[in-house]
Amino acid sequence: MTAQNVNSVDQAIRFIDSWPKPARAKRIVVAGDFMFDHYVYGNAQRLSPDAPVPVLAIEDQKWVPGGASNVCLDLIALRCKVSCLGIVGKDRNGFDLKKSLKEKGCTTTGLIDDPNRPTTIKQNFVGLAQHRHAQKMFRVDTEDKSPASPTIAQKLMAAGDRLIARADALIIEDYNKGAMTPAVCQHLIKTAKQYQVPVLVDPAAIEDYTKYRGATTITPNATEACLATGMTPSETDLMAKTLLRELKLQTVVLTLDKRGALLLVKGKKPIAIPTEARSVYDVTGAGDMVIAMLAAALANGADWPMAVSLSNVAAGLEVEKFGVVPIELDEVLIALLQKQHAELGKIRTVDQLLPEVTAYRKQGRKIAFTNGCFDILHAGHVAYLRQAKAQGDILVLGVNSDASIRKIKGKDRPVNKQDDRLMVLSELASVDYVIVFDKDTPMDLLRAIKPDVLVKGGDYTKDKVVGHEFVESYGGQVTVVGLVEGRSTTNIIQKIEATKR
């Protein structure tokens, strides 16, 4: 297995930026074991006097969809339409689970009521002690793991036929709780093939994967793959090849925690797709996020390397959160933008800058713009740029080129050449992007960027700011901020000249 940078960050940003609007969102069917999670939060500051166990003083409780429901909510966060296919008990918890999923935007007509089993409940007791972050203390499960009865299985398959016929992808989210029997899985896979719908399987932790045979892809973690193949964690390539061959798959995506993922596409060599190093708070839900992003990306036209790369980003964001928290598509986009920013630095051309500015603006970020020569950087400049950044979320700094400065200030300027000025300005925390312009004014930049706020220093009045009429014509704001008295490049040059006399 060889590591490979399979997609540029810029490609990923452009792909997400082209994600369809809600009206054209892709429909994903999620088939699996649907559960209801009950979280009990409290203070765990003391031990019980009658046993060496912590006492949880309850302060709050909440019910949230769990199991296969997690994948459904992840897909909603990724702007997909979701249809649920599974079993719930014919009880109050089943009713509440379906109600909760409906409220979050899921279609629940495929959730079959089974009067002979309870809705699967997982009670999570979470305590806070010594003012540290919340810690799950233990869990209590209420469930019936027996296989679905023939009658319920037939209802599941009939509902699957109806939902898959108009789907863009099918996810089988199997927790081995009885819904995804071999017969049900094989029927769903066969139906999906009939409609040319890709099938993505997040397998249960079981030894026999034959019920998933014929799916498009399978996404086990290393531990699950070892259990299913009888191999060791070091044999990742062989595990992937074995699963691909024996299950007649098109691809295998083997998730490897902090090492990222191994992608094996039929007829090609395995490649390692790395992930970003992140602070791990809670790994719960990371696997669900992987398969949700995989399905969403593939349904929207991504190739396999792109889909896996995006899944790694989404899963990395998931492990930074406590509990199962769906990662919004916007969060993935922002993470990619931050990565690109780190890779490229702050200096941009117009063509490089515009896609990033557009993406930030779509997330509701306010773009501020200011400009100047910044020949000899001084305290006045730093204070001014801090004020300019305070007017928005992202500050774009337009910097006069050397030729432009000579036209404005004479042949002896600038003192510091363009590359030196850009390097120094790029190190300022208040500046997000630096871009050079050659003309006397930054009007071409303003027309291209269309900033939400145009900022200029206090030695100007609003009506004298170049571009004020243009910015205000589309609803932008023009702001004049104060300057630090006595601080200017000219003053510094004069003081230096005075020391020579």
User: Looking at the annotation, which residues are catalytic?
Assistant: 288
**Which tokens sit at 18?**
């082209």
Altogether, the residues listed in the chain come to a count of: 501
Nearest-Å Rg of the Cα atoms of the chain is 29
Find all residues with CB under 8 Å of 500, minimum gap 6, and list them. none
Find all residues with CB under 8 Å of 5, minimum gap 6, and list them. none
Beta strands in 133-238 (DSSP E): 135-142, 169-173, 199-202, 217-218
Residue pair 201/233 in contact (Cβ under 8 Å)? The answer is: no
Q: Which amino acid is at 33?
A: D
Residue pair 498/479 in contact (Cβ under 8 Å)? The answer is: no
Burial class, 274, CB count within 10 angstroms (exposed 0-12 / middle 13-18 / buried 19+): middle
* Helix (H), strand (E) at residue 182: helix 182-194
d(CA 226, CA 366): 49
Residue with tokens 């509902």: 159
* SS3 sequence of 349-412: CHHHHHHHHHHHHHCCCCEEEEEECCCCCCHHHHHHHHHHHCCCCEEEEEEECHHHHHHHHCCC
Q: How many other C-beta atoms are found inside a 10 Å radius of the C-beta of residue 289?
A: 28
CA atoms in the 13 A half-sphere facing the CB of 4: 14
Residue pair 200/216 in contact (Cβ under 8 Å)? The answer is: yes
Residue with tokens 């925690």: 257
